[in-house]
Amino acid sequence: MTAPTLPRPPLAASRLSGRSVDLERIEAARHGDGLWQAIGRDPALWAGTPVGPFDRSGFDAWLAERTRRPDQVLFAVIDKSGQTHEVVGVLIVLSILPAMGTAELGLVYGPRLQRRVGGTEAVFLALRHLFEALGYRRVEWRCNPENAASMAAARRYGFTLEGVLRQHRWIKGANCDTAVHAILDRDWLPIARRFADWLDPGNFDADGRQRRPLGTLAETRP
């Protein structure tokens, strides 16, 4: 096995651009109002997370604290599909360890991103940047194994379930297990091709409905 070149660069990008969405590094003064409207004020979006729900001052405090952490980068997801560009969610790259070339993805999507092309493209943009531009070795996806939607999303995006950490955290007055999924650098090329096939405009009809689900492509594409 060839030894990796370490450390890898830090995540310094201010913008990652896609066809339907952009990822913009969060600036509270610029993105705070849009993020509050898209995700912050909806208690249901925070039910399965360690934080929230919030009032506006609590949300602003959480956002400010998170953007100061040296091992995390928060991106606002900007929907470009309409005539105006709108903030519709947040994607977090956390547990960033340049010395090891590893990181983790987390996200909170508002209704405009749930089950939409932009939600999948945002994950693709982040993964592509970490693996192809920065040369990271491993990206994780962690969630409560009882969160069926998050578990399904991990499979759909190409993450491999590696195991469950039992009673890993104490969150909101309860024991919580953590399911650990990962994509390794050697896994990335076929996963990237599946994303590209799914995101191709030809995979969607005139009403924006997918012709082939990403999960189906993941099963059939070598």
Residue 5 covered by a domain? no
State the helix-helix crossing angle for 28-35 and 56-68, rounded to 10 degrees.
Answer: 140
Residue 182 covered by a domain? yes
Residue 195 covered by a domain? yes
- Residue-wise pLDDT tens digits, 153-186: 999 999 999 999 999 999 888 999 999 999 999 9
Distances (CA, A) of 45 to 41, 67, 81, 94, 114: 9, 20, 23, 19, 11
The reported pLDDT for the residue numbered 189 is: 97
Residue 8 covered by a domain? no
**pTM to 2 decimal places:** 0.94
CATH value at residue 72: 3.40.630.30
Residue 29: domain span: 15-220
Tokens coding 15: 């913008």
Q: How many domains does the chain have?
A: 1
Residue 6 covered by a domain? no
- Give me the phi and psi of 75, to 5 degrees please: -115, 135
Kindly give, in sequence order, each residue whose CB lies less than 8 Å from that of residue 7, ignoring residues fewer than 6 positions away.
Answer: 98, 99, 100, 101
The reported pLDDT for the residue numbered 81 is: 84
Residue 9 covered by a domain? no
Residue 204 covered by a domain? yes
- Residue-wise pLDDT tens digits, 79-95: 998 888 999 999 999 99
Residue 1 covered by a domain? no
